[in-house]
Amino acid sequence: MQKTILLIEDNEDIRENTAELLDLEGYHVITADNGLEGIRQAQANLPDLIICDVLMREADGYTVFRTLLEDSSTRDIPFIFVTAKSETADRAIARAIGTCEYLIKPFDEKELFDCIRGLLSGPESLR
């Protein structure tokens, strides 16, 4: 069964390129260009996994993650932050909110797909 990934990214080039990579890998991709739209898409479509930028207009990635964790229909969706922010403190903020992965831009395809496969294989992969 084809897995659905929600990609929340405000940079159009990155969003389009990443969506194309995911599509070519066989995933069904839904996109959102800001955090509020991402929250709406997540609640409406209940994707199998969410990839979300941290720094965005409308609502940042941390707000998106917190909001989805508070909703019983979206709290268990695996979540990957993608960001150019590589500070350890930023990663700590994300992990303090909940269980997630954190990829630093620019990331390569293998790193992205390894992370996705790990999360989609189940919670035991996060331990």
Residue 17 belongs to some domain of the structure:
yes
Residue 25 lies in a domain: yes
* Residue 32, domain extent: 1-43
Task: Establish if 74 belongs to a structural domain.
Answer: no
Q: What is the mean pLDDT of the chain?
A: 89
Q: Is residue 115 part of a domain?
A: no
21 belongs to a structural domain: yes
Q: How many domains does the chain have?
A: 1
Is residue 95 included in any domain, yes or no?
A: no
Q: Which residue has the higher pLDDT, 87 or 52?
A: 52
52: in domain? no
Separation of alpha carbons 61 and 53, rounded Å: 6
Position 109 in a domain? no
How does DSSP assign 71-112, residue by residue?
STTTTTS-EEEEES---HHHHHHHHHHSS-EEEESS--HHHH
The pTM score is 0.89
Query: What confidence score (pLDDT) does residue 96 get?
Result: 77
